[in-house]
Structure 1
């Protein structure tokens, strides 16, 4: 009876309207699960199997109602800061609701990069792991979508900076979504292997690939990222070169799709 209840209960997806959530929610629906999407504004859905609820993770408001009857939570919501506090609020509400599986998406290097965003991600990871709720955490590389935002902004400059030694291994959000759907529908697995893209690039190469795909030309200027952050990136602390799961879609594939008519 418990297993049947878990399968028929809605899956709560925080951040279900974001870049990753828009890919994950249909996969969960295709698997026959009802999905409850949590966002700050809520909203309506054309799919009878998708319910939208409004709640504020940072303020901890509306979470008890959002979690009513939920046994599985997929926590995708995130921002430039405050992810640790938002996750602690979610964890407390999930404990009260008797949630049986909490799945979290984090970032490769959360335990190594000396930046506030990564420290907040690590704090969120710890909140999940120490919650007493069976859990699964996946660390992923930067999405192609974020990479595109970065190189688009740099391409607007007369000279495009090319930080030496700064490497990324961007992954397609659809590959991450597929893995997360699998993990959400499975049993709690703790910290699973990282998920990265199929190729490692210098940031300058990512910019050049973008410019070429757009038919643009810019001069590039080698620069050196100073301090602890620069040393961490040059040491590859943001990468998992061994033991990671690898996505299928490359940066070139992504750019070709975005450049298609």
Structure 2
């Protein structure tokens, strides 16, 4: 009798992470097309060695969605078995991405905008979409930002890291010509990315009069915690958002804690996380 590879006694073959992530890109492109949604694949295996240093790996998929299509994509993913691991409001101080998880596909960050490019309403999506390109990922045609825009994404993303050495930017410095850099600098204003671009390259003091100067300085450099909170409060628009920033100082981010622990936190774990903040602030 021939062996049935789908029989219950067959060993389960774990798909290597780098292959699964590329397949996930193809999956989301197919889901978007089926749902009538415009998406752009960003970072990770979408950019791959065309942008990043050789050998760089990724553990999730990043998707930028046309703002008016966001709810449609999220609902389609939830119906297809995905679950929410972190909501927009708890994902980061920029509230820009929702983290989804699927038992087969893994993790995906769904971006309603990309911090440092355009504004929180996703104002830059049309500009990015007009210059989009097609690249096959897992043999499936996927939409990406243009090559120049992709490089800008990498630089702007680095602005959210306070480390002095960034291998992604170092790679771009070593692999691009001065003309390539000038092309990027000429394109940056079209994307409203001047402040974050400068912060990533250590040029933020040129924008010391900008309303969001302190915010980007606080995320791109080692900054005292009280200044980080002040920057978030100043950045928040309107009484409701400012109140939410103040409350977030006191509230434990349960989504983040759950991902950190690998399970839903117990009341005791929440209390421990809450009081640990005061030990950090006291240093």
Same fold (TM over 0.5): no
> Which structure has the highest helix share of the two?
2
Greater C-alpha radius of gyration: 2
- Give the TM-score of the pair, scaled to structure 1: 0.28
> Which structure has the highest strand share of the two?
1
- Give the TM-score of the pair, scaled to structure 2: 0.27
Determine which structure has greater relative contact order: mean sequence separation of CA pairs < 8 Å that are 6+ residues apart, divided by chain length.
1
